[in-house]
Structure 1
């Protein structure tokens, strides 16, 4: 087990994700004495060519004949959003653009930076999200089964547990 105090968090982020995931990680960082938060986006349309000891990767397109630099726009958008959310919070953070399967990429980053835990958000509600989860699986579940760090799952939709399930 990696102690929480003084060890970073790895946080999975996606474009246009609700702020709650980043704000939860920032709160945890402050509670853990100002631990660094590594925000990571995993691009499934690219693959990892080389992994580096600091958790960064060199990645490439799956289609070797394609020339698509839209990943740079995605990276810029996410970094800008994080800067706006966390700019004056005092929480130290870094961003990593990863590639491939999310659970494997996040596990590699967590191992590389000796993270205490991994934070992920639930999928956005709706039938298409449920279908994708059935086909692709849940990143949180895959992480919890394939590495030893705790996984904090931040719910992104409210469930009304006040209504009884039976009547």
Structure 2
């Protein structure tokens, strides 16, 4: 077990994710003494060509014949979003753009920075969300089965158990 104090927290993020994930991670950081948050987006359309000692990666397109630079815009958009949410929070943070399987990439980053925990959000509700989870699996579940760090899963929608699920 890695103690929470003085050890960073890795936070898995996706574009247009509700602020709740970043705000929850910031709250945990403050509770642990202001530890650094390593926010990470894992691009499943790219692969890791090289893992660097600071947790960053060199990545490339899966199809070597295509040229797709949209990842640069995605990275900038996520960083702007995080800056907007965390500005003035006093919490130290960094962003990592990773590639490959999300569970493996987040685990590698957590091992590299000696993180105490990993924070992820649930899959956002919407059409096809349940099917995507069945096909792709849950990153939180995959993480919990394949590494030793605690996983904090932030719910992104509230379920009212008083309301019947089927009408």
Using the size of structure 1 for normalisation, the TM-score is 0.96
Q: Aligned-pair RMSD on alpha carbons?
A: 1.2
Separation in 2, partners of 1:162, 1:2: 39
The 5 A counterparts of 1:114-125 are 114-125=114-125
Aligned residues: 165
Q: Secondary structure at the match of 1:38?
A: strand
**Alignment of 1:155 onto 2:155:** yes
Once the 2 structures are TM-superposed, how far is the Cα of residue 87 of structure 1 from its aligned partner?
A: 1.2
The 5 A counterparts of 1:46-57 are 46-57=46-57
Separation in 2, partners of 1:142, 1:161: 26
Structure 2 regions of 5+ residues with no counterpart?
Answer: none
**Alignment of 1:9 onto 2:29:** no
Matched with 1:77 is 77
Matched with 1:68 is 68
Once the 2 structures are TM-superposed, how far is the Cα of residue 53 of structure 1 from its aligned partner?
A: 1.3
Once the 2 structures are TM-superposed, how far is the Cα of residue 125 of structure 1 from its aligned partner?
A: 1.1
Once the 2 structures are TM-superposed, how far is the Cα of residue 57 of structure 1 from its aligned partner?
A: 0.3
The 5 A counterparts of 1:7-156 are 7-156=7-156
- Which stretch of the first structure deviates more once superposed, 123-132 or 75-84? 123-132
Separation in 2, partners of 1:39, 1:163: 35
Structure 1 regions of 5+ residues with no counterpart?
Answer: none
